[in-house]
Amino acid sequence: MLDKLSSIARFKSSCPYLGRTKVSTLRTMATRTSARFPAMSRLTEKASHCPVMGPALLISSTQTGSVSRARSYASLAEKSAVDEIHKTEGVFPVSAGVVCPHASAAAAASKSAETIRAAKMAGCPAHAHKATEQPNVDTATIKPEPSKRHSAFSYEQFYTAELDKKHHDKSYRYFNNINRIAPRFPVAHTASHAEEVDVWCSNDYLGMSRNPVVLETMHRTLNQYGAGAGGTRNIAGNGQMHLALEDELATLHRKPAALVFSSCYVANDATLATLGSKLPGCVIFSDSMNHASMIQGIRHSGARKVIFKHNDTVDLEQKLAQFPKETPKIIAFESVYSMCGSVGPIEKICDLAEEYGAITFLDEVHAVGMYGPTGAGVAEHLDFEAHQATAKSGSTVKGSAMDRIDIITGTLGKAYGVVGGYIAGSTDLVDMIRSYAPGFIFTTSLPPANVSGAQASIAYQKSYMGDRRLQHLNTRALKQKFDSLDIPVVPGPSHIVPVLVGDAGLAKAASDMLLADHGIYVQSINYPTVAAGEERLRITPTPGHTVEQMDHLVGAITSVFDTLGIKRRADWVKEGGRA
């Protein structure tokens, strides 16, 4: 079939229909049977109405009319007759299980004749002619082959076509074999243990995955409670450590309750899907740069979705004003947007939520552990002194940004260095999600060792600000070095350093060159994670990166930009800017 399509593609310039029809459409027509004439494909039926192809098909079917005789002869031939044909043609006896070339030809002729006969009976215009005269054969002795009316869907061709799209637009994802060495992080080795690289794109922002307190806690728990949780939270997977972690998280965000999920992707999806489907007539307002987990949750909720421009509270207010105040509304947004490093206008969005009768859903995934006196995120950071003064008591700071947020979600797998996600909010909200969300109810609970390690990491960062302070100092220093060399960094106040490339192919080439030539691992970020034309290298410094490693990175980035001819900041300014 692919060979036939290749032949057809050669005539796209000659035939108006082929010229304006996509190859994927032609493939579908060639592999699907005609609804009116099941004996032929949709493409053949279309061709039969063509002023050029129609007569050609008619002549072709006339010339092949004699194959019906071949079918009759083949069905009546005895073994002695077939052996005689082999002897005459000089063909040696074929092995068992191998199709005789003459039998194969006869079968092909038989199938072709059956197709033509079925097409005539169906009234196909390309075969509406007088049948060729048949030999005097008793057709009662011939059992017609059952015609295959419907072709099975070609799944593998579909998979290949979808992957081809990814390769064509340069958005195909390649996963590098990177193995972080805990005692020496941010150093890692590749598939070869002898080949070491510096990792500059990890979400283990503070290096807590190798923190001695976390590791010792996990080792101790693993030895005492084993590797797995044993079931869902409802069935054998609800231990004292899960409850203790949820108490820790509720205290961190100064909320009455918290609920732990297997990841924050699941937490966002499950919570938004449950709330959106349960709240009557709910409308969800979503920032245009929200994470895929939030987008999926909104989609799964079935609620009406209204997208507002990124961090644009004027646009958000205009959209909120279109709905009655009594209509249930959720404003879903993030504190730190991971691909551009921008920070959400939390306080202003809280003002709008109160004015228009909405609740707020804040994703602090890339902020927990990184901001605030106890690492609770940007919402805590906005009232730094007030929260620092009440850190020991853990009491709610009334009227603070964190207090005004209704639902906070976060992860245990980035700054805290382990795995898992969670939500924090009112007691009844959390209990409703616990009772209704399939993403929580029907999945295996996190292993005890992971849970205890996460709690230890949170407690450590609540009492020690040194890691995040050093991380931010390294981020500031790196941004300044790039700025002095005219390396284009997407502006933002957070710990993310997005280096703009602006082309999918160049971004991938830059990432590959850094790894192969300089021993530096920085993953390229392409569509759909970022908009087409805004492809970038996403760099995340950690407290563990040394001055020497940073200088090596800056020199390597400069070399790669020069070698590949990637635009500098001045070039983007001339073009009017980007990202």
Question: 3-state DSSP call for residue 559?
Answer: helix
Alpha helices in 390-489 (DSSP H): 401-404, 427-436, 438-441, 448-463, 466-484
Dihedral angle sign, alpha carbons of residues 80, 82, 86, 92: negative
Separation CA 83–CA 89 (nearest Å):
10
Task: List the strands of the sheet with 421-425, edge to edge.
Answer: 257-261, 421-425, 407-411, 358-363, 329-334, 283-287, 304-308
Q: Please report, as a single letter, which amino acid is at residue 375.
A: G
In the beta sheet, which residues pair with residue 34? none
Q: Which of 37, 43, 28, 41 shows the shortest CA–CA distance to 153?
A: 28
Burial label for 381, CB within 10 Å (0-12, 13-18, 19+), is: buried
DSSP 208: G
Q: Which of 170, 255, 414, 462 is catalytic?
A: 414
Query: Looking at beta carbons, which pairs linking 227-233 to residues 24 or more positions away fall under 8 Å?
Result: 227/447, 227/449, 228/444, 228/447, 229/444, 229/445, 229/446, 229/447, 229/448, 230/445, 231/444, 231/445, 232/441, 232/442, 232/443, 232/444, 232/445, 233/440, 233/441, 233/445
DSSP 372: S
Q: Are strands 497-500 and 524-525 parallel, antiparallel or unpaired?
A: unpaired
Query: Please, are residues 336 and 305 in contact by the beta-carbon 8 Å criterion?
Result: no
Query: Please, are residues 379 and 364 in contact by the beta-carbon 8 Å criterion?
Result: yes
Distances (CA, A) of 495 to 89, 302, 370: 80, 35, 8
Catalytic annotation on 120? Answer: no
Q: Catalytic residue positions?
A: 414
